[in-house]
A and B are shown apart, each in its own frame.
Chain A
Amino acid sequence: MFVAWRDLRFARGRFILIGAVVALITVLVGFLAGLTGGLAFQNVSAVLDLPGNRLVLQQTDGKASFSESELSENTVDAWRSAPGVDEALPVSILQSRAQAGGKTAGVAVFGMPSGDDSALGRMTPHTADEIGLSTGAAADLDARVGDRVSIAGTAYRVASVGGDLWYSHTPAIAMTTGAARDTAERMGGSGAATVLAVSGDPDWDAVAKATGTAAFAPLASLTALETFKSEIGSLALMVVMLFGISALVVGAFFTVWTMQRSGDIAVLKALGATTGSLVRDALGQALVVLVVGIGIGLAAVVGLGALAGGALPFLISPLTTIVPALAMAVLGLAGAAVALRTVTSADPLTALGSNR
């Protein structure tokens, strides 16, 4: 790193420029990742909070979807009685509008037995005339414990407020299974459970095949949410493209930079420098630029993200900050590694003579 540090100091203008580009790309990637994470959280956090090892959905025409799944009593019983199943918890999911005072808001109603240890389970009241509000629903409806909230023509007393849970960009409301079934019927539905949260270790494929259902691991069940797939798919594509651009920009810079230095590299080789030491020098230099650029970009993302979090669905977590930053560093180094060919192929013989 002897020459690398001094090159960084000597050509600081060029390195500040490429560092700024890396920082800007990090800001773009970080914001997109934070926004993607925030939107994903508002889409699926309640689903990921459901208990059980697998989530079972009814299949229609070979496809499983949260929006179309309706599990009959027979199906629920079949899963409950399957060998290896410890517990099968039917959960109804409805999307409706709620009113409280003068406020109206779209909500996702989750009907499930109370007493479960999940955040949803803790929100679920014990009686059918009560509901539990997530913090988002309470904020949208400006409702507190003891207030009356009307859903599909029936008023419920707010028994609790707590839990930051969302489904399809609407805040979650929890009620008992019976209350959810009644609400669904008032809205013209069948009142059947949407999803079965199954715990245990049954022969998942065999039971699913026998009942015409699909049993997903919680994370995999998100593929049964159409809006999530399309939304996250396009945002993730943008993030991936930015990763590619980052690798390309860093690679192009270091390729040109190293080619400009090819004469110096030939001289160092002629003086006895090992190719390994020159490669370490080049990669170390790229790593310094990447770490500084990404560090500045990351600080901007965390700072601005914290400010934007009040107005946008923005998630600051290791998954939306550290992971993209590491990916950028790795891809940037991969781009810089392309320039190493100039280092390894430099001929020390060219240092002799007057044609440098």
Chain B
Amino acid sequence: MITLDNVTLTFPDGASRVTAVDAVTLHGRAGRVTGITGPSGSGKSSILAIAGTLIRPDSGRVIIDGVDAAGLSRDEATALRRSRIGIVFQQSNLLPSLTAREQLQVMGELGDRGARGPRGVRRAVRGRVDDLLDAVGLSDQADRRPAQLSGGQRQRVSIARALVREPRVLLVDEPTSALDQERGAAIMELIGRLSRELDTATLLVTHDLAHSAALDELVTVVDGRVVDGAAVDGAAVDGAVVDGALEIR
């Protein structure tokens, strides 16, 4: 479960400040995929950055699995990100020197200190690698490096990497932007299925509503605000705004 409660974020712009996120409130529920859409520059990536503790908002609360992340120090935010948040990047962002299997194994090598210690985390992560590679359909590609995989395969590895530590929250940034329609649909279906299977609260930023069927909810953002509107850039969505979130019918 993730909740952004009345969150505002501003950036310096010369002598003044520009508001990127304006009093946004939204909820990501366990086992459901919440889409965040809007035109370019609307603030949807900033919302994702706030949800991922990559940037601290000026005001408001960010509740992740019961913890208010808005007031955490940088190290505490890193630890929270490591233990409870999975991130799928727009460009997959796989490490070129690692094979698909190692892309997942590296998640057990991030400098954990807690009660389970680095060895416990490493063992737990390694125990899940093969199952997740199987779940994303890449068992037979496990020993290939990113350069030897297709764009869709790289994005599948990225999804498996984000889920290998069993995060409570999954953040997905434009996962289909570099893929064709068919592969994009497959990725969206995969994210929806794994979110439900692993009971993960997923926030998914997209400007492409062609795959909106894979979403459980959709939030539309314009100029940093969640707006009451069914159409963005000409794409029609059949839904209604509930508590600031547009629920799809």
Residue B211 interfacial (CB < 8 Å): no
Contact with A along B73-95 (1 / 0, CB 8 A): 00100110111010101110101
Residue pair B45, A267 in contact (C-beta under 8 Å): no
Residue pair A272, B79 in contact (C-beta under 8 Å): yes
- Residues in B whose Cβ lies below 8 Å from that of A280: 111
Interface size of B by Cβ–Cβ distance < 8 Å? 35
Chain B, range 84-115, C-beta contacts under 8 Å to A: 85, 87, 89-91, 93, 95-98, 102, 105-107, 109-111, 113
- Residues in A whose Cβ lies below 8 Å from that of B85: 272
Bound CA–CA A76/B95 (angstroms): 77
Residue pair A352, B78 in contact (C-beta under 8 Å): no
Residue in contact with B174 in the complex, picked from A263, A264, A276, A354, CB distance below 8 Å:
A354
A3-B106, A352-B90, A354-B177 given; A271·B82 CB < 8 A: yes
- Residues in B whose Cβ lies below 8 Å from that of A348: 54
In the assembled complex, the CB of B103 is this many whole angstroms from the nearest CB of chain A, namely 10
Query: What is the predominant secondary structure among interface residues of chain A facing chain B?
Result: helix
Residue pair A276, B111 in contact (C-beta under 8 Å): yes
- Residues in B whose Cβ lies below 8 Å from that of A272: 78-79, 81-83, 85, 110
- Residues in B whose Cβ lies below 8 Å from that of A277: 109-111
Residue in contact with B45 in the complex, picked from A7, A264, A352, CB distance below 8 Å:
A352
Residue among B75, B87, B107, B145 facing the most chain A CB atoms (10 A cut-off): B87
Residue pair B107, A3 in contact (C-beta under 8 Å): no
User: Which of chain B's residues has its CB closest to A354's CB?
Assistant: B90
Contact with A along B173-191 (1 / 0, CB 8 A): 1100100000000000000
Residue B52 interfacial (CB < 8 Å): yes
Bound CA–CA A11/B97 (angstroms): 8
- Residues in A whose Cβ lies below 8 Å from that of B145: 10
Chain A, range 275-314, C-beta contacts under 8 Å to B: 276-278, 280
In the assembled complex, the CB of A272 is this many whole angstroms from the nearest CB of chain B, namely 3
Residue B248 interfacial (CB < 8 Å): no
Interface size on A, as a range, is: 20 to 34
Residue in contact with A353 in the complex, picked from B87, B90, B102, B161, CB distance below 8 Å:
B90
Residue pair A270, B52 in contact (C-beta under 8 Å): yes
A9-B97, A354-B177 given; A267·B111 CB < 8 A: no
- Residues in A whose Cβ lies below 8 Å from that of B161: 271
User: Which of chain A's residues has its CB closest to B205's CB?
Assistant: A352
Residue in contact with A10 in the complex, picked from B83, B89, B97, B110, CB distance below 8 Å:
B97
Residue pair B81, A352 in contact (C-beta under 8 Å): no
- Residues in B whose Cβ lies below 8 Å from that of A271: 81-82, 87, 106-107, 110, 161
- Residues in B whose Cβ lies below 8 Å from that of A349: 49, 54-55
Bound CA–CA A267/B87 (angstroms): 10
Residue A316 interfacial (CB < 8 Å): no
- Residues in A whose Cβ lies below 8 Å from that of B75: 274
Give A contacts to B, CB under 8 Å.
2-3, 6-7, 9-11, 263-264, 267-274, 276-278, 280, 348-349, 351-354, 356
Give B contacts to A, CB under 8 Å.
45, 48-49, 52, 54-55, 75, 78-79, 81-83, 85, 87, 89-91, 93, 95-98, 102, 105-107, 109-111, 113, 145, 161, 173-174, 177
Given A263-B93, A267-B95, A271-B82, 11 extra CB contacts under 8 A: A3-B95, A3-B98, A11-B97, A268-B110, A270-B52, A270-B89, A271-B106, A271-B107, A277-B109, A352-B89, A354-B90
